[in-house]
Structure 1
Amino acid sequence: MENSGYVGAPYNFVPFYKDVVSVEKEQMMTHDKIEHELLTGEIAYTATAKLPIFISDGKEKPDFVKNERGEYMIPGSSMRGLIRSNTQILGLSSFGEDIDDYRLMYRNVAAAQGKDDGYGAILGAEPANIGDGKSVSVLKNVKAGYIEKVGSEYVIYQTEVDKISDQFGEMNYYVLSERTIAEDLRKKDTSFSYFKEHPNCLEHVMKDGFKKIQDRGRIHYKGTTNQHYTEGYYNISYEVTNTRQITAVGNPGTYKHEGYLVCTGHMNEKKSKYIIPKMDQSKEHIQISKADVDAFQIDYNKKKNTLRNNKKYYNLPETGEIKPVFYIQLDHLYFGFTPRLRLFYDHTIKEGYKQTKKSFDYAKSLFGTIDKNENIGYKSKVAFTDAVLCGNVNKSEESSVILGEPKPTSYLDYLVQKGGKTTYNTQGFELRGVKQYWLHKTLESYSYSNAGKNDKVFTHMKPLKEGSRFTGSVRFQNLTKAELGLLLWSICLEDDCLMNIGMGKSLGYGVIGLEDVTLKIFDTEKAYDLNQTLDWQPMMTGDIKTYIDAYKSEINGKLRGKDIDSLSSIQSFFKMHDRNLIPDNHVIRYMSIDKKEYQSRKRPLDSIDEVIKKSERSANEKKIVEKPVIEKKTAAEKKELRSGSVYQAEIKGYQGKKVKFLIDGNYILTALENIKGIDDLNKKNMKEMLPAGKKVTVELKKIKVDNETIYKVSIQ
């Protein structure tokens, strides 16, 4: 039973097979040999779309990719990537070359780890007294400065003021509230006329002011969002009191102090502007390491497509450009363009990669590799042609979708969890495995209420309809029988298995079946026997199963008593590709931001088996309930509740430590201690875990206590 709302994703993870199966170096070096034992030939196949499919041509207004003759096709490089991934899993091979070795960045991990050792502790988040009995929250470890690219390196310059006062720690910048600006602009002689001239600096419309709102015992102020607000920094002058209160902002030269006004990214109800004193280049500057620059740039490149407005604001400066920056200098240097920085994790991604290191494996032998130790390259033994569309072009209607992109920063998904608190800061953390998208039975549809009028967040796809067929081939040279068997297994998979390719896999696009697979092998004896007539077609048809069996036999011998078909990684892979085990869309969708499912999530991603079971249980519940539950029934319509029976119930409300259920027209109150199936259920979280209106499947048990009927409820 879900114990903290919906948690799910359109992808999951096939666990790594940790003890990589190696091959000998001699097996890598067969390119220039002509031996009867080595196999050369071609595998032909047809890829049939089971749902609409879209392979982008990469243009600004993307269309389905075409070859130089104008034919729609699946590029050979796309098919190569798909089959290579299958080969790595089925070949019990290494994924080390596919995993980036850099530090991820994060924000607000404190919610999961506790403030003392989390995000807030690093920033130094504490209250500070500003006089008149008032206090503000400050980030005592965060400083402001100016970043510049000098040659190929980046440096941070300090400001004129190192820090303002001891209670503000290392802070050397000022925080200005938009409420202060709004109140001052009402005056006849305002000191903030700068903002009348630059209204795009403000996140809220000043003429509307801020409404005082009390919510759950907390007073806050809400204003009307300024749709024209954009991130940026502006050269200004200002006045400030000895208690750090900004009293005036104007153009340069208007007031005593010079600096920059910094307007960071928009967040709901955020009302803070930041003012940074001007730069002092006479002070010692801070050198940023290349590793940190590279990690920052990777992080920016991964998130830039999600940035709606001024993307350049969040990127590193270009040569000769100087821009305001915030930073923390503790055991590690953290930097960014907002005070609430994205911090570098303690460990790199690859530190969590636990497969054994082997120089050569089956996938490397087939697809090639570079041996960095010996500085030798081994070329690929396989080549993929483009798979060209057969028959007529049948296009679906254009689809405008928001494509979510899985990110390894989601540690509850990507890492093996221990209590839901394992992050890239955890010593000994472990990557969960190889990410694979679930197959879909039907296309997923979403409403995009948060997208607004921002067309940039949409991808406009022009897919081809289901039933579209593409023919392609794979040419291979000098393979062993086992290598050819692995390649064929990676293409054919098992009966009733499908794959997915292209854009929109998270929504169900691109589900394909590789069908009509044929194998032709070059007969060297026919081709080079000088004692017989020249044969212009020295190709013979090969039996696919024979070669797959040869591979399984060879690798089982290397597994020392294990059977490759019984390995958990292999079984997990085929479960995700079996058309008979495809989960319902509602258990493999992305978590909703609108419903705050993602923000309130507390649990790791379910395992592959758990997702399949959840989908099967949901299907069984639909069979049980032939009619919708009627919310209210008359006394005559009520049915007697039987102990030990399973019912569909609806949560109707709460009384103290009891939950009110509606079951077949009967309202029952059940104490929390009599509700089973939800871990750690208590009075504080019962409304979250059992929200009013939620429908659940329950098993009832009736017991008599002091002549009173008590119901025990087991939620399934």
Structure 2
Amino acid sequence: MCNDQYNYAAAPYNFIPFPEKVVYRHEIIEENGEVKICSESNEKEEVSHNKFRKDLKTGYVKYRIKVETPLFIGDGKEEFFKVNGEYVIPGSTIRGKIRSTAEILSCSYPEFIDDAKLWYRGAFSDNVLKNMYKKFLLPNENSKINDKVKAGYLIKQKNNYKIIPAKEVNDKCFAIVHESILRNQQFKIKDGLASTIFMYDLNDSKTKKPLWELFYKLKEEKKNINTKINDLPEEETEIKKGLVDEKSKIQGEIINLLKRNSLDSFDPYYCSVLYDNGIKDISRYSSKEEYGFLMNSNKICNGNKQNHYIIYPRDSDAKNKVINNKIINQFNTSVEYRQRKIANKFHLPNESETKPVFYILDENKEVAAFGFTPYLKIPYEKSICEGIKTIEETDKPKLDYAQSIFGFTNFKYKKDGKDKNCAYKGRVSFANAKIVVSRGFEETVHKSLMSPKLNSFQLYLNQPQTDKMKLKTYDGDFELMGQKFYWLKNKYDGNDDFLNQSCKGKPLPEKQFSKLTTISKGSCFEGKIYFENLHEDELGLLLMAIKPFENAKDNLGQGKPYGFGKVEFNILGIEEIDSESRFKMLNLEKNDTSNLQDKIKNYHEKFRTYMMTQDVEVNFNEGRLKSFSISRLKEEDLKNPEFKYMRFKDNKVTNRNILKPMEHYATENQYKKYEKSENAFINKSANIEENSKNSSSKVASDKHVAADDNNGEIT
């Protein structure tokens, strides 16, 4: 679906569609606890790790990474990654990049997508989530939030989180208390709590009249207008329209009244309360069993929240509710990390703490979700990976290209009617890529780097229509957009976001920005990828994943949305080792590039040929691989708002505008086609190897790379 008239969302990323079906390359053989793989239906061609086969390929690929925009690979301590004092790109970083590309090229099943259930809150939304949320928690017109939502006391015991249920009064575990009522009980509030728990001032700052008198007067006027509207005959459309406009105006006055009297001193809190058909006492802490909790969380989205909540005393006769670890992980993923501002009050307790908590139960009376507000987040029906529609075969323990080459853990399959799982070590290993040409470092900058927002279903899911009330979510039938990539940029943004926002007032803390000390453009890294017992088509895939075609660029490291980390991979050499003589030769590095062009072309063709036997054409000018080629060729203008993060208050965000699908970019004329021959970029790679010997490097290239065999960290 693509509508040229629609105002699409903006983002520095997009998605390469997943394949329709998986292409399989091997099957699993398990004998006496040892896992081997073999070509499909041919156990004679088994591949194991304890012997080298003459007909398979063993050796290494030597490659170079040229830095085209400043690059930062962090070490977790805000410094560029180093090993033994030397700047390197970790082998694990290269491995992840190459495997990801290999998955796309070979139609492998997309691995490493977190199969978690996301949570959502739709109470105050104006999109599809509102109806979903209301249907779940407020199924009837007269439903109250405390009809379905329970309350209790969250504790931790021996690494398990449990909820002690609160007593139920009239089938409810907590009471809802409007702030106007709490204000009337102010003399019962002890320990100076009154200065922090109220959300609004006592008197209106504009009229100096009691706030809640004005509030209820406006509410009454709104109620009277509703009565008039309901009493009017249907044909009185003009009068109804006037009354509806008048009601909207009053609602605006209510919002403005609350907004201008909102107190900055309000702090999310919980304290002890004695409640028996009314508030008897409010104090900071009480250990008496008859006391419950008075509490309130933050104002959701700075809204016009007016209620506080009283959780009844704990029920000593009720059985504690143990929270499943999966639910705890989902909470950490979907809730707690987004509530940094109040994390000091409302986080998971340690073993000496007790926290007020709200929760809902599933059909088995187990905790399905919990939170620190009655309008808590609830889980979607389905997990993220249920949105992958790539067809898999499950009748045999089959392996795709990526699993066969890079290995796997905890692979589940059936054998003789029994569930089994196994692991297999990969047949490739990655040395750290060491710096061989250094152009120094750029000045340190701070950038605001976003985390993936999988809850932005309008961006991450295929959306057949644009109506925000009918968008696909992680309920029902949905499909993920594909494998995420960041657009290449024509330049980088070297501005310091922390310093810039500090000059504009109300600065955010420096820790909310990432510090990037980047290696400059023109620097180069070289590394090796070791392979053993690869079929020729597998080696072809590996080479294509390193350098798919001429002028292909890629992104590495942090700061990709701002144009950092644009690099170019080039293959410098392929050394194939005779398995019989590998332990007899002192030096296997021949540096012979005379036949590199023919080697790469030949191995590419072997891979393409095998894919053709599976009815898949490796064509960068068509289908999903056209999207891939665009992602590696087209450099977008850094200033183009279509390829930037949207501001939170942007209408595109609040309206849940969808992301423009890749099919649109794949059909635009301005995107050049993949037309150049493989020979062109292979010749270029060979020339780079020859030129590297003469480059004025900070480190002598030959000596430096040779040392990689002994000192390089293998990943």
> What range describes the TM-score normalised by the shorter chain of this pair?
0.7 to 0.9
Change (3 A) 1:314 1:505: farther
Shift of 1:483: 0.8
Instruction: Determine the structure 2 residue equivalent to 1:406.
Output: 452
Distance change in 2, residues 1:360/1:467 (3 Å): same
1:395 aligns with 2:395: no
Measured in 2, the distance between the counterparts of 1:484 and 1:7 equals: 40
Residues 381 and 516 of structure 1, relative CA distance in 2, 3 Å threshold: closer
Q: Rate the CA distance shift 1:312–1:382 in 2: closer, same or farther, 3 A.
A: farther
Aligned 1:459-608 pairs, distance under 5 A = 459-515=514-570, 517-524=572-579, 536-537=587-588, 539=590, 541=593, 542=596, 543-559=599-615, 562-565=617-620, 568-579=623-634, 585-601=640-656, 603-608=657-662
In structure 2, the partner of 1:276 is: 311
CA distance, structure 1, for counterparts of residue 600 and residue 647 of structure 2: 45
Q: Check the 8 A contact 1:415/1:422 in 2, yes or no.
A: no
Structure 2 equivalent of residue 235 of structure 1: 272
- How far 1:271 sits from its partner (Å)? 4.5
Look up the SS of the partner of 1:550 in the other structure: helix
Q: How many Å separate the matches in 1 of 2:511 and 2:442? A: 22
Structure 1: unaligned runs, 5 residues or longer: 129-135, 164-168, 618-716
- Give the aligned partner of residue 154 of structure 1: 161
CA gap 1:496/1:278 in 2 versus in 1, 3 angstroms = same
Partners of 1:53 and 1:381 lie apart in 2 by 29
Cα displacement string for residues 362-392 of structure 1 (whole angstroms, at most 9, x for unaligned residues): 1111101133334432211111111122344
**Residue 65 (structure 2) pairs with residue 44 (structure 1):** no
Give the CA deviation at 1:142. Answer: 2.2
2:23 alignment partner in structure 1: 21
What's the offset of the Cα at 1:567?
A: 5.1
The runs of 5 or more residues in structure 2 that have no matched partner are 28-37, 40-45, 219-247, 414-419, 672-715
TM-score, normalised on structure 1? 0.72
Superposed, 1:264-303 pairs within 5 Å as 264-267=297-300, 268-269=302-303, 270-300=305-335
Residue 172 (structure 1) aligns with: 174
1:307 CA drift (Å): 3.4
Q: In structure 2, how many angstroms separate the alpha carbons of the residues matched to 1:273 and 1:73?
A: 55
Verify: 1:71 aligned to 2:86, yes or no: yes
d(CA) in 1 for partners of 2:387, 2:324: 23
1:89 counterpart residue number = 104
2:152 — aligned with what? 145
Matches of 1:31 and 1:74 in 2, distance apart? 27
- Contact 2:408–2:423 under 8 Å retained in 1: yes
1:554 CA displacement: 1.9
Match of 2:479 in 1: 430
Work out whether residues 239 and 257 of structure 1, in 8 Å CA contact, stay in contact via their aligned partners in 2.
no
Q: 1:612-631 counterparts in 2 under 5 A? A: none
Q: CA deviation at 1:86?
A: 0.3
2:711 is aligned to none
- For 1:258, the equivalent position in structure 2 comes to 291
Residue 157 of structure 1 aligns to a residue whose secondary structure is: strand
Aligned position for 1:673: none
Q: 1:74 to 1:161 in 2, by over 3 A?
A: same
TM-score calculated relative to the size of structure 2: 0.72
Asked whether the 8 Å contact 2:626–2:666 carries over to 1, the reply is no
Give 1:298 deviation, angstroms: 3.7
Shift of 1:393: 5.4
Give 3-state SS (helix, strand or coil) of 2:520's partner: coil
Q: CA deviation at 1:114?
A: 7.0
Deviation at 1:520, TM superposition (A): 2.0
Mapping 1:370-381, distance limit 5 Å: 370=409, 371-373=411-413, 374-381=420-427
8 Å CA contact retained: 2:541, 2:604:
yes
Instruction: State the match for 1:637 in structure 2.
Output: none
Instruction: Provide the rounded CA distance (Å) in 2 between the counterparts of 1:281 and 1:442.
Output: 64
- Give the structure with the higher percent strand: 1
Tell me how far apart the structure 1 counterparts of residues 101 and 606 of structure 2 sit (CA, whole Å): 18
> Residue 235 of structure 1 aligns to which amino acid in structure 2?
S
Deviation at 1:87, TM superposition (A): 0.6
Cα distance change on mapping 1:582 and 1:555 into 2, 3 Å: farther
Q: Which residue of 2 aligns with 1:222?
A: 259
Judged with a 3 Å threshold, the aligned counterparts in structure 2 of structure 1 residues 549 and 114 are, in CA distance, closer, same or farther, namely closer
For residues 5 and 139 of structure 1, what CA distance do their matches in structure 2 show? 40
Alignment coverage as a number of residue pairs: 581
Shift of 1:578: 0.7
Q: Secondary structure at the match of 2:308?
A: strand
- The answer as to whether partners of 1:191 and 1:247 remain within 8 angstroms in 2 is no
Could you say which structure has the higher helix fraction? 2
* Alignment partner of 1:363 is 2:409: no
Query: Contact between 1:367 and 1:379, CA under 8 Å: does it hold in 2?
Result: yes
Provide the residue aligned with 2:135 in structure 1: 121
1:107 aligned onto 2:121: yes
Q: How far does residue 216 in structure 1 lie from its aligned partner after superposition?
A: 4.2
Segment of structure 1 superposing worse, 9-18 or 144-153: 144-153
Q: Distance in 2 between matches of 1:453 and 1:434?
A: 32
- When the two chains are superposed, the root-mean-square deviation of aligned CA atoms in Å is 3.7
Distance (Å, rounded) in 2 between the aligned partners of 1:468 and 1:224? 57
CA–CA distance in structure 2, aligned partners of residues 596 and 607 of structure 1: 20
Query: Residue in 2 aligned with 1:442?
Result: 491
Identity %: 28
1:171 Cα offset (Å): 5.8
- Per-residue CA deviations over 1:188-209 (Å, capped at 9, x if unaligned) read xx41654744644455677986
Tell me, in whole angstroms, the C-alpha distance in 1 between the residues paired with 2:569 and 2:589: 26
Bigger relative contact order, structure 1 or 2, given CA contacts below 8 A and separation 6+? 2
Secondary structure of 1:24's partner? strand
Deviation of residue 233 (structure 1)? 2.4
Q: Per-residue displacement from partner, 1:8-33 (whole Å, max 9, x unpaired)?
A: 21111111112111112315724333
